[in-house]
Structures are given as C-alpha cells and as structure tokens.
Amino acid sequence: MINTIIDIFHQNHIDFDRARADGIVAIIHKATEGTNFRDNEYRERKQRAKDMGFLWGAYHFSSAGNVLDQVEHFLTVAEPDESDLVALDFEPKLIAAQRILRIRRVLIPSPRIERIVLEEVEG
C-alpha cells in the first residue's frame, strides 16, 4: 500500500473510513470558484477529515473574475491554518487570453502561513 492524496469536490462521494483503510493520507478539496461560488461540502468535510487525522488542503478554481476578489473569497471560505495546503487550480484555456496572472507571496501575521496574493497585470 502506498500513501495517497485525493482531490475531491462537492459532486464526489467520499467514505472517509474506506479512504483511510485504502491508504489515503491527505485530501485536497475544492473550496471556491470565481468570486461567488463556495463548495457547500467543504466546511463539514474539512472538520471530519482533520478529526480523523487526514492531512488537509484546499483549492480555488480560478475564473476570469477580479483576481483580488477571488483571493479574498477563497481565504474567507477556506480559512486555512498553518497545517493546511492551499492551491490554485488555474486553467489558462478558461481564462481570457489577454489576462496574465502574476503571483507574489506576502507574509501574514502567523509565522507559518504565507498568503498568496494574485495580481492582475496588463498583458
């Protein structure tokens, strides 16, 4: 058996006990998309997974919307702590060709968390 990570979102069924028995050690879950969508399964699944000892990660599925609004939306919904992985699902084919995203890291008060800020730049 190998240690495995799975990527899920609200449309996936997950049996946490079976996942653990099958060697799953970490779960990365979609938290948000764009500036308004929040995955309604995210919060409950996060708590259950962490209570069961899974490593946890959250991702944002980007859209062509305002980048800073998307970052703020994601951080508000995901509420990551220092043990959580945070990720961006960026699929350029879905983003207008003239929009370019630049990533910079900005430290926030917690010594172990870095906040990822995306800036929109002219292409």
Domain carrying residue 52: 4-91
Count of other CB atoms within 10 angstroms of residue 107: 9
Total tally of structural domains belonging to the chain: 1
Dist. CA 27–CA 8, nearest whole Å:
7
Within a domain: 109: no
Hey, what are 117's tokens?
A: 């800020």
Put simply, whether the predicted model's pTM sits higher than 0.75 gets the answer: no
pLDDT in tens, 9-44: 999 999 999 999 989 999 999 999 999 999 999 999
- Residue whose pair of structure tokens reads 């910079």 in the numeric block: 104
User: pLDDT tens across 55-111, in order?
Assistant: 999 999 988 888 889 999 999 999 999 899 999 888 766 554 434 444 444 444 443
113 within domain boundaries: no
Residue 8: CATH number of its domain: 3.20.20.80
